[in-house]
Amino acid sequence: MAEGADVTPFGARLSEAVSAYGPLCAGIDPHASLLADWGLTDDVAGLETFASTVVEALAGEVAVVKPQSAFFERHGAAGVAVLERTIQDARAAGLLVLLDVKRGDIGSTAAAYADAYLDAASPMQVDAVTVSPYLGFGSLEPFLATAERNGGGVFVLALTSNPEGPEVQHARIGERTVAGAMLDHLRERNAEASPQGSYGAVVGATVGELTEDVDINGPLLIPGFGAQGGTVADLRRLFGPVWEHVLPASSRGILAAGPDVASLRRAARAVRDELA
């Protein structure tokens, strides 16, 4: 499917941002223990202070920020309102926002999720979202179509590093694994795009040996880097041939340096430089 002619596709915008700031994707994960470490209360006030501090620190330092929606949603409607403001502030500061929501549904419900996060008319519009394809890749069509119209991106769970993942992802469909089939679909969608497509895959840094072809001409979001055990050496070993598409995600390794803004910036720069 061709990307919309009247908007700049996410893949092109991401390539430009990575060229300027490096490939680091910094998480915004305000879980309770981190709020406590920062001396903040585990409530909406603490949440808002945390999120605004991270945006202030990371603007102009990294290409992409990745808020984890669940940590905002746990505070109810007021928490979602903080997420909305965080998205708007981050985008206004020039950051690309990849919202980690891992949505996956069918028909009109999938279309409603897509409208909520990817449509330009939404107050929660982000640059890209994570989605789950395990109702069938075709169920993602509303996300892909809405992303195309609005210059957005979609990152599809493919090879996650959680121990439960192989039960589904390594299952076979004829000669292919389920994960391989998802990657094939993404490769097809990105085939004509330059410098890269807007439809990416999520592949964990701690998957061990990589047996699937991850060259999908699109971005690869790589969680598990940093505090979760994945090293730069792991990334180079696993993803060296497609390095220009790699987007390593780090959260705790940066956020642990807070709440001081200057310390957060130094932590982000250290990780960014390590990836250079």
Among 31, 85, 102, 149, the active-site one is 102
User: Residue 122 in contact with residue 91, Cβ under 8 Å?
Assistant: no
Strand 172-173 versus strand 153-159 pairing type: unpaired
Show the tokens assigned to 104: 């996956």
Q: What are phi and psi of 59, to 5 degrees?
A: -60, 125
The partner residues of 97 in beta bridges, in order of sequence, read 65
C-alpha span between 87 and 117 (Å, rounded) = 10
Which three-class secondary structure state does DSSP give residue 178?
helix
- For this structure, is 102 an active site residue? yes
Q: What are phi and psi of 17, to 5 degrees?
A: -65, -40
Alpha-carbon dihedral 257, 127, 208, 175, rounded to 10 degrees: 170
Give the length of the chain.
Answer: 276
Please identify every residue annotated as catalytic: 102
